[in-house]
Every structure is written in C-alpha cells, then in structure tokens.
Amino acid sequence: MSLLCRLEASLTAGMRAYGRHRARIHRATSLPDLLRRVGRRFTPLARRMDVILTLDVDPALAIDLRGPFGAFGAVLERLIAHAMQVTTAKRVSLSVDVVGDDARSQLVHFTVTVFGDATPVDASAFGEAIALLEALGGAFYNESDERHRRHLIAELAFSLPPRGVDVDVTALRTTLGGDASLQKLVDALEDALVRDIRSLDALLAEGGVAELQTWLHRVAGVLGMAEATDLARVGLTLEADLDHGRSEWIDNAIRRFGHDAGRVLDTLRAHVGSHGI
C-alpha cells in the first residue's frame, strides 16, 4: 500500500471512531458536495458546543473542479474539528479562496480561522492530516494576525475539466457547401481570434469594458457560424455580464473562453489541413 493510501486509511479510521456521520466527509465526490458534507457534519456539532461556525466561498471558485475531494475532506475535517476544540472565543470560520487561476486549474486556499487569543496551535494534533495534504501535493500554513486570530491554511490545486468543443465538422462542411467555404470560415475565425488571443492578457490588464465586449461579441458570432453554439452562448453571456462591470471572476472566465475558442479553431484547422496558431 502506498504512503498516500496508508495516510488516508489511517485518518479515515480515526474519523470513524467519532461516529458514522463523521466518516461521510471522506466520501465527497466534488467540491460542492464536500462543502455540503462539511456543513451537515459540523453545523449541529457547533450548536452543541455553542460555537459560531461560518463559511465564506470565493465567487471565482469553479464548481466543476476535479481533484481528490474524499482524501482532502479528511484533511479539512481534522482542521475544523481541532479549531472548534481550541477556540477561546467560541468562533471558527472556513474561507475558501482562489489564489491562483489559469485555463487548466485553480489553486485554492481553505482557511480555517480560530478566533481567540491566538494561542499557538499544536500541529501534532493533526500531523497525519498535514502529511496526507502534502502527499496530495498540497501545503499547510499556520499563521496568526494582529486581531488575535489563528489561520490554519490548507493549499491545494484542483484541475478544471477540458471544455468540449462540440463541432460537427462533417455536417458543417455539408451546410457550407464544401471545403472552400469551410476554409473561409476558418479564416474568419482566425481573424477574430489570433490577434486578440495573443494580446488577451494585455486587453484584460487595460481595465476597459467596451473593448472586451466587442471582442466577445465578435468571437461568439464566429463560433455560432462554426456551430459551436454552446460556447458561443458562453461568450454572449460574458458580454452581458460585463454590463455590471469587471471582476476577477469574470476576467478568469474570459480567459477560459478564449482558451476554449482556440480549441475550436484548432479542431477546424485539423480538418482543412492548416497549422495551429
């Protein structure tokens, strides 16, 4: 049995010693499922212990992340349980924050904050949890601040699933009337994408809205012509969302949209014998 499997088995066995409900967190299959299970496990316990327990989730967090949610759930549970035992102010919070984001993954901090006198936390109380976290590729930070709060931070990267391009090239070629028309469509898609994909970060850095909306509208239109209708709708939705202003979440979503649009272009190019960007 690998070290990772041994650590997870040991921590899970320890959880079962506290009752069948506690063991269920390690069965989480997604991040939303994990957070729901954490709530079901700890809300009644907090009530019995007279502890205020709060949860704050970064809106930039993708809901379809992939990762070792079951094993990580065992880590998170041990940190929360320890925090509830040692807080002198009868208050604990869990904050889930995206601290790194690209087209393929998100780096997430799960911060368990212990309110009170910031007495140093005995890390040996959850040493197995830290070892499991590190075996999963994560990192642990134990910090305090000027407001007498202790922060137990579990850092872990989760992957984003590849977005389907869903382009029926055969049907599209038939609809357009042959390879020559398909080539014209690919050329139009290139005109809409190549210039701006290469400079998208700079465009986002400028802080404007109208320029991004123009780009999104143009790219969504060409994607619609290419029968990539689902992705085209994403672009139009982002264009409309920009009416409410810029945010870190929407900027990251635009980056992912640009990445996915590039994949549509690569798929079409492969069928007309062109080269990638």
Residue 196, pLDDT score: 67
* pLDDT recorded at residue 274: 44
Measured between its terminal Cα atoms, the distance across the chain in Å is 45
**CB atoms closer than 10 angstroms to residue 41:** 22
To the question of domain 3-159 being in CATH 3.30.565.10, the answer is yes
Helix (H) or strand (E) holding 57: strand 52-57
- pLDDT at position 49: 94
Higher pLDDT, residue 133 or 162: 133
Compute the distance between CA of residue 146 and CA of residue 28 in angstroms, rounded to an integer.
35
| C-alpha span between 19 and 9 (Å, rounded) | 16
Predicted confidence (pLDDT) per residue in 233-246, tens digit: 888 888 888 888 88
pLDDT at 263: 82
pLDDT of residue 205: 85
Q: pLDDT at position 8, please?
A: 46
272 close to 179: Cβ distance less than 8 angstroms: yes
Q: Between these two residues, 157 and 200, which has the higher pLDDT value? A: 157
Model confidence over 165-175: pLDDT tens digits? 667 777 777 88
Stretch 241-258: mean pLDDT: 81
Segment 161-168 mean pLDDT: 68
pLDDT (0 to 100) of residue 44 = 92
235 neighbors 225 (Cβ within 8 angstroms):
no
Confidence of residue 59 (pLDDT cuts 50, 70, 90): confident
> Greater confidence, 24 or 273?
24
What are 184-227's pLDDT values in tens digits? 878 877 776 777 677 777 888 887 899 889 888 988 887 887 77
Instruction: Please tell me the predicted confidence (pLDDT) of residue 119.
Output: 61
pLDDT confidence of residue 51: 95
Higher pLDDT, 206 or 7: 206
| 83-138: pLDDT as tens digits | 999 898 999 999 999 988 766 788 999 999 999 875 666 767 788 999 999 999 99
Count of all residues that appear for the chain in the document: 277
Q: What is the C-alpha separation between 246 and 259, in angstroms, rounded?
A: 19
User: Does 42 score more than 50 pLDDT?
Assistant: yes
Predicted local confidence at residue 276, as pLDDT: 40
Looking at residue 20, its pLDDT comes to 43
pLDDT average, residue stretch 62-85: 91
Q: What is the DSSP letter of 221?
A: H
Q: Where are the domains of the chain?
A: 3-159, 169-272
Residue 16 pLDDT exceeds 50: no
Most confident of 19-23, 54-58, 207-211, 238-242: 54-58
Record the tokens describing residue 81, joined without a space.
């349980």
Q: What is the pLDDT of residue 18?
A: 42
Q: At what angle do helices 179-198 and 210-225 cross, to 10 degrees?
A: 160
> CB count, 10 Å around CB of 162?
11
CB 107 within 8 A of CB 157: yes
Q: Are strands 91-101 and 52-57 parallel, antiparallel or unpaired?
A: parallel
Strand ranges in the chain using DSSP code E only, listed in sequence order = 52-57, 91-101, 105-115, 139-144, 149-159
Specify the higher pLDDT residue, 228 or 28.
28
